[in-house]
Amino acid sequence: MPQPAAHHTPRYRSPYQTSSAASRPEPQSRMLAVASRTRDKSAPTILSLAMPFLLTTATGTATSPRPLIPSSPRRQNPTTPHLRPPPPARRLPGFPAAEPGAPFLPRPPRRGMASLAATAAAAAAAEVTHLTQRDAAEIDEQLMGPLGFSVDQLMELAGLSVAAAVAEVYKLSEEHTRVLIICGPGNNGGDGLVAARHLYHFGYRPSVCYPKRTPKPLYSGLVTQLESLSIPFIPAEDLPHDLSREFDIIVDAMFGFSFHGTPRPPFDDLIQRLISLSVIGNSDKKPAIVSVDIPSGWHVEEGDVDGGGIKPDMLVSLTAPKLCAKKFTGPHHFLGGRFVPPPILNKYGLKLPPYPGTSMCARIRKAPSVDISSLRENYISPELLESQVMPDPFDQFLRWFDEAVTAGLREPNAMALTTVNREGKPSSRMVLLKGVDKQTFVWYTNYGSRKAHDLSENPNAALLFYWNEMNRQVRVEGSVEKVPEEESEKYFHSRPRGSQLGAIVSKQSTVIAGREVLQQAYKELEHKYSDGSLIPKPEYWGGYRLTPTLFEFWQGQQSRLHDRLQYSQREVDGNTAWHIERLSP
Ligand SMILES: NC(=O)C1=CN([C@@H]2O[C@H](COP(=O)(O)OP(=O)(O)OC[C@H]3O[C@@H](n4cnc5c(N)ncnc54)[C@H](OP(=O)(O)O)[C@@H]3O)[C@@H](O)[C@H]2O)[C@@H](O)CC1
Ligand SMILES: [K+]
């Protein structure tokens, strides 16, 4: 295998490089999928979040620290201004004034993995409004009348929500690529056409079945847009006999809130085909059925009256759930249509779950519990090739770190730090990387903490960055030392005053009687320094820096054929050089 040119760096001798340190165990961390209990196979196995676990083992030797020039990664503030509740709305004729404490006040949600779970829990706790057929139609009219929306706009946002929700639950992978969108004659069908376009741009392979085309410019425009993307339109009679073989996901966009009576041809047959797909045991692998606004064929208010209707895996309610959604028992219920203005919320007293961050969809019901052993993503990522990586692992790290920041990942500087004590017992925790330069990784902590204790006994440590959304992991191993006092002093005073007080209050890792102890101490300090005077850095608080001897860059790939490139140090002509090798996944 061709090897990239070795990169030479000057050699340093570590103050820790004593014979005893060299014999101490060196921690290694990597993400593993953990097999767990067996489960009821009929229960939903869908995952929306990967669940990383850290496994730490101990082996190895010590290494050498280098001078530090820290550059702080971007600070993330969970209460950034764009998350504030919106200002009160202007009053419109026919609508009540927006009141303070109106039922819907978007709480400041936090983006990312934790926030999804929190949103789901909050949504589950809150009572969500369900609309009658009449109210749904009335809201539609008001949006497109006095409230100034056009049908095109609402349809675009509705279809985008559907595509976003599909992509959130059925992440793009080998198992979830081929989507059939069945579109009806009305606006529900229009939502389906829009969703097809967005799914295409998200990387899915959509096909559309649109048997009763509406001769209006809005619809013919949507069809033209799909044709320009070479998205196939399949006549109902030409649909493959076994939909399970040809499609991973079927989007039901046949009927929405204007449905009445019993389905007429050709939709009666199409609905029947979806019903037979839902019958358990009909096929080894069934496509997921996603219904837009209402499961087609269901009564808009009563739901699946005789119990013989389609049983979607997912429902994306638009604007607000309709009454029939109370009967939906599938694992994934989402809200879409992030356009409802306060006059509508107030007039109808709508209680809806908040949309997390910039998301176009919000989970209404709690996500189903997940069988950990079934958690398996089939990653689709760009290849990580020896010929493309930087010869210096710090440059490669900074390149990936920049990409993680650009991708909007929440706290990409969060890393698992694994330390090992004198007895060889490892321990891991998340810390925030506060500086990285050409030689070291820096973070700050309490010198009385368990990690500090471990490091005083054994300077070997491992760092692990896991950027789930990018299918990337970086392992860094090396030796740790304290940063100079003046460095810690400088960083301490750059922190928000609240964090400075928090650092003084917390005697980290010691047992305390209760939360009140911290709150009381914090209050007293807050009072003491209320004049804005300098808060002195406590002696027991400061930084550490790790000088790596090993890096591994991991990029998830399809069928578990992941890329793993390891950088280790070699002696070349009396210098230390980074050597790159590919490891088997
Ligand atoms: N603000 C909002 O709320 C937004 C709403 N949006 C979306 O609009 C949807 C409502 O759209 P919609 O009003 O066009 O009606 P929809 O349900 O698509 O179907 C009507 C068509 O079906 C037909 N049809 C009816 N019964 C039938 C039967 N038994 N068998 C056969 N055909 C039957 C009916 O024909 P007709 O009975 O009139 O002859 C008509 O052609 C809503 O659910 C949401 O998805 C978003 O786009 C944006 C924001
Ligand atoms: K539908």
Tokens of 247: 């499609």
Q: Could you tell me where the beta strands, DSSP code E, fall in 7-147? A: 7-9, 26-32, 53-59
Question: 8, 569 in Cβ contact below 8 A?
Answer: no
Rounded Cα–Cα distance for residues 378 and 561 (Å): 10
Looking at all shown ligands, the one closest to residue 262's CA atom is: 1
pLDDT of residue 422: 97
Confidence of residue 27 (pLDDT cuts 50, 70, 90): confident
Which ligand has its closest atom nearest to the C-alpha of 318? 1
Whether residue 91 has pLDDT greater than 70: no
Q: How far is the CA of 317 from the centre of ligand 1 (A)?
A: 14
* For residues 110-114, average pLDDT: 35
Residues 6 or more apart whose Cβ sits within 8 Å of residue 139 = 131, 319, 320, 344, 348
- ipTM field: 0.98
Ligand 2 center to 106 CA (angstroms): 27
Q: CB–CB of 185/212 below 8 Å?
A: yes
| Section 193-200 average pLDDT | 98
Ligand 1 lined by 293 (C-beta under 6 Å): yes
Task: Determine which of 84-98, 131-145, 282-296, 559-573 has the lowest per-residue pLDDT on average.
Answer: 84-98
- Report whether residue 267 contacts ligand 1, using a CB cutoff of 6 Å: yes
Q: Which atom of ligand 1 is nearest to the CA of 137?
A: 3
Whether 261 has a binding-site annotation, put simply, is: yes
Q: Which ligand is nearest to the CA of 292?
A: 2
Binding residue per annotation — 257?
yes
- Counting from 1 in the atom list of ligand 1, the atom nearest the Cα of 214 is 41
Average pLDDT over residues 452-481: 96
The CB of 255 under 6 Å from ligand 1? The reply is: yes
Residue of 255, 323, 360 to mutate, ligand 1, most atoms within 8 A of C-beta: 255
Question: For residue 157, how many other CB atoms are within 10 A of its CB?
Answer: 20
Residue 83 clears pLDDT 50, i.e. is over it: no
User: Rounded to the nearest whole angstrom, what is the distance from the C-alpha of residue 255 to the centroid of ligand 2?
Assistant: 4
- The percentage of the chain sitting over the pLDDT mark of 90, rounded to a whole number, equals 62
Token match 């980290």: residue?
508
**Mean pLDDT across the stretch 108-134?**
55
Q: Is there a binding annotation on residue 378? A: no
pLDDT attached to residue 453? 96
Ligand 1 pocket test: pick from 139, 251, 257 the residue with the most ligand atoms within 8 Å of its Cβ: 257
Q: Is position 207 annotated in a ligand binding site?
A: no
Tell me which of 32-46, 119-133, 159-173, 241-255 is least confident: 32-46
Span from the CA of 258 to the centroid of ligand 1 (angstroms)? 4
472 is catalytic: no
What is the model's pLDDT at position 372?
Answer: 56
Closest CA to 269 of 312, 242, 237: 237
Residue 316 CA to ligand 2 centre (angstroms): 9
**293 among the known binding-site residues?**
yes
Nearest CA to ligand 1 atom 47: 155
- Candidates 352, 350, 376; CA nearest to 363 is 352
Ligand 1 atom at minimum distance from 322 CA? 43
Residue 46, pLDDT > 90, answer: no
pLDDT at 97: 64
pLDDT at 245: 92
| CA–CA gap between residue 414 and residue 416 (Å, rounded) | 7
Alpha carbon separation from 547 to 289, 449, 496 (Å, rounded): 51, 21, 28
Residue 578: exposed, middle, or buried by beta-carbon count in 10 A (0-12, 13-18, 19+)?
buried
Average pLDDT for the chain = 81
- DSSP per residue, 545-572: EEEEEEEEEEE--GGG--EEEEEEEEEE
Ligand 1 atom nearest to 154, measured from its CA: 48
Most confident of 93-107, 326-340, 430-444: 326-340
| Tens digits of residue pLDDT in 540-551 | 999 999 999 999
Cα–Cα distance measured from residue 462 to residue 202, given in angstroms and rounded to the nearest whole number = 36
Q: Which one from 213, 376, 560, 570 is the annotated catalytic residue? A: 560
The span from the first CA to the last CA of the chain, in angstroms, equals 16
* 188 known member of a binding site: yes
What mean pLDDT is predicted for residues 376-397? 84
Taking the C-alpha atoms of residue 270 and residue 237, their distance in angstroms, rounded to an integer, is 10
At residue 9, does pLDDT exceed 70? no
Beta strands in 231-342 (DSSP E): 249-253, 288-292, 314-318, 332-336
Cβ of 263 less than 6 Å from ligand 1 = yes
Interval 509-527: pLDDT, tens: 889 989 999 999 999 999 9
CB 260 less than 6 A from any atom of ligand 1: yes
Most ligand 1 atoms within 8 A of CB, residue of 140, 218, 361 to mutate? 140
Angstrom distance (rounded) from CA 555 to CA 570: 24
Most confident among 35-39, 142-146, 277-281, 534-538 (mean pLDDT): 142-146
Q: 61 with 568: CB under 8 angstroms?
A: no
Q: How far apart are CA 39 and CA 372, in angstroms?
A: 10
Residue-level pLDDT at 108: 35
- 98 burial level (CB within 10 Å; 0-12, 13-18, 19+): middle
Per the CB < 8 A criterion, the answer to whether 370 and 351 are in contact is: no
To the question of whether residue 80 is assigned a binding role by annotation, the answer is: no
Name the residue with the closest Cα to ligand 1, atom 24: 259
Note the pLDDT of residue 375: 58
pLDDT band at 470 (very low <50, low <70, confident <90, very high): confident
* Predicted confidence (pLDDT) at residue 11 exceeds the cutoff of 60: no
Binning pLDDT at 50, 70 and 90, where does residue 484 land? very high
For residue 268, give both structure tokens: 């009666």
From the CA of 266, the nearest ligand is 1
pLDDT average, residue stretch 219-224: 98
Give the separation between CA 436 and CA 112, rounded to whole angstroms.
24
Alpha carbon dihedral 228, 229, 232, 233, in 10-degree steps, equals: -50
| Cα–Cα distance for residue pair 525/80, rounded to 1 Å | 26
* pLDDT at residue number 84: 39
Cα separation, 65 vs 459, whole angstroms: 11
- Closest by Cα among 318, 273, 260 to 292: 318
- Choose which residue among 142, 147, 188 to substitute to test ligand 1 binding: the one with the highest number of ligand atoms within 8 A of its C-beta: 188
The pLDDT, as a whole number, for residue 176 is 93
Residue 66 confidence (pLDDT) above 70: no
Cα-atom radius of gyration of the chain, to the nearest Å? 28
Residue 218 near residue 191 (C-beta atoms within 8 A): no
Eight-class DSSP state of 98:
P
DSSP letters, 455-491, are: HHH--EEEEEEEEGGGTEEEEEEEEEEEPPHHHHHHH
Average pLDDT in the 112-129 region?
A: 48
pLDDT one-digit tens code per residue, 97-111: 644 433 333 333 333
Q: Is the CB of 211 under 6 A from ligand 1?
A: no
**In the prediction, which pLDDT does 285 show?**
75
What is the pLDDT at residue 86?
43
Q: Which of 12-21, 176-185, 249-258, 475-484 has the lowest mean pLDDT?
A: 12-21
